[in-house]
Amino acid sequence: MAVGRGDGLVARTGDAVMYIADETAGAAPLLAALDATAGVESPGRALAKALATIALGPDSALIPPFGLVAPTADGLLLILRGPVTADVESDGQGRRLTGERALTWVDETLPPTIDKVTIGGPGGLAVGMGGHTVLRAGVVPAGGFAALKLDSSKPVAPQPHTPERRDPPPRQAPRARPPAQAPAAETANPRPVAGALTTGGDAVYPLDRPYVIGRNPLADPMVRDSAASPIVLADDPQISRVHAYVTVGAESVFVRDAGTPAGTYVAAPGASEWTRVGVQPVVLQPGWCLRIGSKMLTYQATGPAQ
C-alpha cells in the first residue's frame, strides 16, 4: 500500500486503511474507530457500524470527509463520505466513485478480484504516489493512498531448507564442562502483555502498543508521530484534550496522568475507593479499572500474563 503527497491523514490498522481529508479535531473519533478494529478478522462490517454512529450522528458536521477500504467476509468494503474519490481498477477497466453522490456516504462491497483502489481528494490522486511510500501501520500526513490486492502484500512463505548431510566427526574424549550459568533474567526476553482495555461497549483496545487518552489525543506528538494510538473519550468536560498515557512493558501495563486538573484514577475490582494517579507511571493490574472523568476502561487480561 502506497501513500501520496497532499493534505490530510492516512491511517492503517491491519488491512483496514483510511484517508481523512484534514487534521482537525474531528479526525480523532475516526482514528479511534479504526484503531479499535486491531486484531479483528474481516473488520469491514464492524468498522462501518462504528463509523455510522460517528459520521451519521448529531455531530456529523464536525467530521471531516474520509474514505476507507476494509476487508469483509465476501470482499472489500469501500466507504466514501464527502468530497473524496475512489478509482477502482479491475481486469484493465477503471471507474471512479465519489462520496458526494449521497448526503450520508457512499458504500460498496468490491469483489476480491479487484486489482487496485486509489482514494484521495476531489481531484483523485493521479500524481504524487510513490512506489517506496509503504505504510504498514500507524498514521501519517498524506493526500491519499493506493491499495492493491490484499494478498499481494503478504510475504511469501520461505521454502524449507534441507541441511547438507555430513558425516559426524571422530569421537573425542569428553572434556570437563564449565560450571552451569544462571538462567538469564526474564526481562532479557520479554513477553508481550496479553489482554486489552475495554469500555464496556464495542470498543476494545489491544494492549500491544502505547495509547494516548483524551478528548483530542491526536494533538499529542506521540500520536502524530505514530508512536502511540489514540483513545478518544468525548462528551465529558472533565476530560482534557490529552488526559492520560497507557504504556505496555514486558510483563506489566502502566498508566500515568498528563498533569490534568480532574486527574486519572485506578481501582481494584469491587473497591469502594479510587486511587489518583500522578505523572509518574504506575502499574495497572489485570482486572482493575481506569477512570477518566466519567469514563471507565477495564484491563481485561488473557493468557499467561493474567
Task: List, for residues 150-194, the tens digit of each pLDDT value.
Answer: 444 444 344 444 444 555 555 544 444 444 433 333 333 344 556
* Residue pLDDT, tens place only, 215-234: 888 888 888 777 888 888 88
Q: Where are the domains of the chain?
A: 2-151, 190-305
Which stretches of the chain score pLDDT less than 50?
126-127, 150-164, 172-191, 303-306
CATH code: domain 190-305 is 2.60.200.20
205 forms beta bridges with 197
Listing DSSP states for 65-127 in one string gives PEEEEEEETTEEEEEEEEEEEEEEEETTEEEEEEETTSSS-EEEEE-TT--EEEEEBTTB--S
